[in-house]
Each structure stands twice: as structure tokens, then as C-alpha cells.
Amino acid sequence: MDFALTAEHEMLREAARDFLESEVDLAPLLVPGATVEQAARSALWAKMSDLGWPSLIVPETFGGLGMSHVDLAMIVGEAGRTLAPAPLFGTLAGTFAILAAGSDAQKDEFLAPVAAGACRLALALADVAGRGIGTPLEDVRAEQTAQGMCLTGIRRFAVDAASADRIVICAPWEGESRWFVVDAAAAGVTIERVEWRDITREVCTVVLDSAPAVMLDRGGEAVWPAIRDRLYLVLAAESAGGLHAVLDDTVAYAKERVAFGRPIGAFQAIKHQLAEMKGQAECASAAILYAAWALDENPARAPVAAAMAQSYASEAYCEAAHRSIQIFGAIGFTWEMRNHLFFKRARANAALLGAPAQLRSDMLAALVAHRAMLAPA
């Protein structure tokens, strides 16, 4: 296991960084009441599609590039560094679900357009109480009609649903969790934007009223962990990228802000905080590379590795974003600075799939289960 990035990985990361730094401008968002227009999200997504990003994890069989999770972490990390307002997370989440639950024919039907950049996806998991998989999700009811499967109910906190062409939804069917694909423009599908604190992220409520749906081939308890671990990796990579951006901004400010006749970065109290942030950023990056390696090479380790990466990276991101505001001082609390955008993304990432403490509990359970599996009969 070698965590040193190859030249190809570094080139991929640098290319993604150069592209996003030239295309993403957060300045228009640094005023009260600012929002990201749907046209701007679509325009950025079109450029990402031209680079082949939607096809990164789609297997070559279905028209994608079939690249590794380490490659994916390079791209997602840079998206997190710039808070890129595009439906990347939702499309990746939907892709993970279809790869885990779909038959080969369904993967070809739904993922070939994604790989071609002609279809955007979203994944709707949470019920009206905000609970996700692992709890009884009875808010959506699946029915078999003469016209096919239909879904009725509500799913909340669906990232990028308003930008999606198709939405993957989990609902109970015949005593187990099953996965369904609905057309976002179909009759019976209503998508409502949520007033979300992180204005760079699009979060929605999906309301279904006898909406036509296609049930994916696989269901049961084995599907969700495969999706979950990859979502953990994506959120962790986003968080690590944001953490590095926060560190860079704070170091630059500490060098230029003068107090008592010298830059505040010369004071030991500030140095200690910057050193702590740097250490957290490096540890987060290492955890993400381990999780990506496990997903590619050692699936048995993936549940623990992915939960560990998301738990550590999201918590460290929150702490670093808070430290940054403190180091900036009064100006760090203003709309005119970028600090609040990163702070809001950090807090949202830490809660979206479960709090870090819950993830550590899940890690412990996975370790116990793994040990039991390896124990001699």
C-alpha cells in the first residue's frame, strides 16, 4: 500500500484545479441574499461534462472511463476546494446507486447517457424526519399498477435534485429496501428547493404522487453499504479539499494582516493554530487515499476506511473553518469574506450522512463484524 500519488494522479488533480479556479468565481456570492442561478449551475456542469467528469466512475462497458476511486478523489477534492456549484455530488450519488442495484441492462440504459453528459442524477434517501437508510422509511409507498411501478410520498434533503434529469429513490417493497429511478420531469414528481444555509449546494424536497418509476434489479441489505461507502469518500474528499482552501486563505491572511507592528502570523498563538490546521489537512488527505485504495483494492476494509475518512475529514473541516474565522477576527464574520461559505459547507458535510460520532459508532460495529467473520469456526 503506497499512498504516494503517481504522476498521473498529480496531473489529474492539477488539471482539475486549473479548470475550476478559472471557472468558479465565489465573489458574486459574498453579499447578503445571494444565490447561485440554475443557469450558472448548468453552464458549469456542461463544461465539466466536456472534460468527461460524469463518466469517471462509469465502467467502460456502459460508455464511461472506468477510472479508480483515487482518480475520483482527485477531482472531487478540487471541487470541494472551490465550492464548485454544479450537480457533481448528486450525479455521483445516483451513479453509485445504479451501479450497486441495477442489472447490466439497467446500467446501460441509465448510465450511458450520464457518461455522455446528457443526463444528470440525484439520490433521494431521507424521510420527512430527516432519517436515512437504516431506519424504517415508510414515507414513500411503492405500488404495482397496470402501467407499471408508481411511487407516492416524500423524500427530503436530496442534493442536486432540482438540477437532475432522473432521481434514484429508496423505498420499501415486499419487506425490503428497493431502489427506483424516476424521471424528474414526469407527471407526479414535484421538486421543491430548500432554503439551505450553504448556498453553493442545491438541496431539495422530492414529492411523489403516483409517479412512474423503474425498480432496479437488486435490493436488500447488501446494496446500501456499497453506496454509502462511496458517498462517504466523496464527502470526505470534498471536506479535505475545503480544508486545504481554508488553510491557504488563513495562512495568506496571517502573513498580510499586521498588528502591533508585525504580521499576526509571527505570533506563536497563531502559528500553533495554523500548524494544527496543516496537520489536520494532511491527516484528512491520507485517510481519503486509504479509503479510495480500499474501495479499489480491498473491499473488506472499505466500510471502516470510508467511515473513518468521512468522520475525520468532516470534523477537521468544521474545526478549521471555525479557527479560520477566529484568526481573521471581526472581518471573518462579514459577508464580504469567503469564510462563511466554507464554514457552512463544512457544517453541512458533517451532518449530511450522519454526524462524525455516529460514523465512529458504525466503524466500531464494522470492525466487530469483520473480526467475527475472520474468527476460526
- Encode pLDDT of 42-97 as tens digits: 999 999 999 999 999 999 999 999 999 999 999 999 999 999 999 999 999 999 99
Looking at the fold, whether 111 and 127 belong to one and the same domain comes out as no
Name the band, by pLDDT with cuts 50, 70 and 90, for residue 265. Answer: very high
Least confident window among 16-30, 120-134, 256-270, 344-358? 120-134
- Encode pLDDT of 230-251 as tens digits: 999 999 999 999 999 999 999 9
- The pLDDT value recorded for residue 125 is 84
- The pLDDT value recorded for residue 132 is 56
CATH of the domain at 283: 1.20.140.10
- Identify any residues that bridge with 204 across adjacent strands, giving them in sequence order: 158, 193
Region 94-104: what's the mean pLDDT? 97
Residue type, 149: M
Average confidence score pLDDT of the chain: 92
Domain that residue 316 falls in: 223-374
CATH of the domain at 208: 2.40.110.10
H-assigned helices in 30-101: 38-50, 69-82, 88-101
- Encode pLDDT of 142-164 as tens digits: 999 988 999 999 998 999 999 99
- The pLDDT value recorded for residue 136 is 45
Q: Is the pLDDT of residue 354 over 70?
A: yes
Looking at the fold, whether 172 and 261 belong to one and the same domain comes out as no
Domain end position, chosen among 171, 188, 215: 215
- The pLDDT value recorded for residue 135 is 46
Per the structure, how many domains does the chain have?
Answer: 3
Q: How far is CA 323 from CA 246, 274, 310, 332, in A?
A: 9, 9, 20, 10
